[in-house]
Each structure stands twice: as structure tokens, then as C-alpha cells.
């Protein structure tokens, strides 16, 4: 199985901050990586697919980069509605796997 | 708008059974593979099972093979997960999810339900 490692597991930030979350794959997944946002009591929401492609309706302050084994999700200016947990997922292998999640909390 | 609504979760004793359902709307159900993903308390998301849009192909993660069965009813736009021989490790929130295409190999999830909690305990 491909292991996905996210860091940090928790991130304290303030409104307006630039936030960067990292996801590392145990082997190359090319660009087959998605990012999801999850709020308490809700299912995840797809933000980015193919490592860099923003889903329709997702604010442009969100961006993804990377390929191979190293990926990042950047929020350019954190907004109040962005406090949530973020998950990465590889979908290259027959068994898709997720990172452990990064909780973005208020500083 | 895609809507996925899970039901059927609850408390079950070890060794027991449960059937989860997911009612789907807002898209052509037969055209998309459907997935169950779970999240144990304090843990990350885990891909459990998937079924092709036509229902003729299914996938299971190793830990649930032989115990969980995924199925779908196109006449009711409903996805199911029959869960047998449940153990404490199966305790989790179970999410119904929609893939972005119809083949069993479609593994990008573009819509999720809100989840239903399954607790396995005596």
C-alpha cells in the first residue's frame, strides 16, 4: 500500500495568515493526488484534484502544487470559514489511501 | 446538486451484523462508481469498498474481505453495505461517496455524505 504522510497534524493560525500543508507519498504517485476539506460533523469536500486543479466553486486562495512524492496545499490568506481539517488522498494505486489529516485551528 | 444520505448505523455487539444504506440524488446514479470510506475515532480516512456504476465490479480492502458486501439498487438510487462478523476495529463513521466516473477503477471521490456512526461494543 502507498503510505501518505501529512504534516503538521495540527496547525495554529490567524485570519489572514498564509498556511501551507504538506503531504508526502511513500512512492511516486505522479500527480494523482486530491485535497479535501472537512468540517465537524460533515463529510469531506473535494478542493483540488490532479495535485493542482481547483474544483469549480473553490476560492482561488486555495492552491495545490507538487508531483511524484511531495505535495503542498496552500491557503494564501486564511479566512474564518477555512478553519477545518484537511486530508490528502492518493488515487494512483488500486487501494486509494489518505493522509492522517491536518487540523487548522485558531491561534 | 448531489446529495448522499446514509442511514442504518448504530450500536451492534461483536460478531453481529448491520446493513448501511445510502440514498443518492442529483445525478444519474448508474453512471458513477460508488464508494464506502470509514473513519475510526481519532484516525484518518480509510477506503473500504467500491462498486462500479453497472454493479458488475466490486473492490474491498483486505481487512473487510469476506465480511462486508457492497451492492447497489439502481431502481431505488441506493447504495448498500452489508456488514457481518463485526469487530471492535469496525467502529467508525461510515461515509457514502461518489466517484467521478463509472468504472471500478475510478478512485477520485467528488462528493461525500455526512456519514453514519457504527459502534461495535458489548
Distance from CA of A80 to the nearest CA of B (A): 22
Q: Max Cα separation, chain A?
A: 39
CA A93/CA B41 separation, integer angstroms? 25
Strand B92-99 to B34-39 pairing: antiparallel
Which residue on chain A is closest to B113 by alpha carbon? A43
- Evaluate if residue A69 carries a pLDDT over 90: yes
Which residue on chain A is closest to B50 by alpha carbon? A95
Residues of B in contact with A94 (CB under 8 A): 59, 105
* Each residue's pLDDT expressed in tens, for chain B with a length of 122 residues: 999 999 999 999 999 999 999 999 999 999 999 999 999 999 999 999 999 999 999 999 999 999 999 999 999 999 999 999 999 999 999 999 999 998 888 899 999 999 999 999 99
Helix boundaries (H) for A12-98: none
Altogether, the residues listed in chain A come to a count of: 107
SS3 A17: coil
Amino acid at each position: 500500500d502507498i503510505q501518505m504522510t501529512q504534516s503538521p497534524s495540527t496547525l495554529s493560525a490567524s485570519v489572514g495568515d498564509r498556511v501551507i500543508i504538506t503531504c508526502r507519498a511513500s512512492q511516486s504517485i505522479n500527480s494523482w493526488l486530491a485535497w479535501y476539506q472537512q468540517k465537524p460533523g460533515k463529510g469531506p469536500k473535494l478542493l483540488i484534484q490532479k495535485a493542482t486543479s481547483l474544483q469549480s466553486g473553490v476560492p482561488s486562495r486555495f492552491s495545490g502544487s507538487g508531483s511524484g512524492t511531495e505535495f503542498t496545499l496552500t491557503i494564501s490568506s486564511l479566512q474564518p470559514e477555512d478553519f477545518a481539517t484537511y486530508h490528502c488522498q492518493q488515487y494512483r494505486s488500486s487501494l486509494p489511501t489518505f493522509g492522517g489529516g491536518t487540523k487548522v485551528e485558531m491561534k | 446538486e448531489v446529495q448522499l444520505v446514509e442511514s442504518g448505523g448504530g450500536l451492534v455487539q461483536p460478531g453481529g451484523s448491520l446493513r448501511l444504506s445510502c440514498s443518492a440524488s442529483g445525478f444519474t446514479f448508474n453512471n458513477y462508481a460508488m464508494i464506502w470510506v470509514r473513519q475510526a475515532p481519532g484516525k484518518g480516512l480509510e477506503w473500504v469498498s467500491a462498486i462500479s456504476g453497472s454493479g458488475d465490479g466490486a473492490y474491498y480492502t483486505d481487512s473487510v474481505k469476506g465480511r462486508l458486501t457492497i451492492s447497489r439498487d439502481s431502481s431505488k438510487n441506493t447504495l448498500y453495505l452489508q456488514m457481518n462478523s463485526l469487530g471492535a476495529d469496525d467502529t467508525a463513521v461510515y461515509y457514502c461517496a461518489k466517484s467521478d466516473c463509472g468504472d471500478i477503477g475510478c478512485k477520485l471521490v467528488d462528493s461525500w455524505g455526512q456519514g453514519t456512526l457504527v459502534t461495535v461494543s458489548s
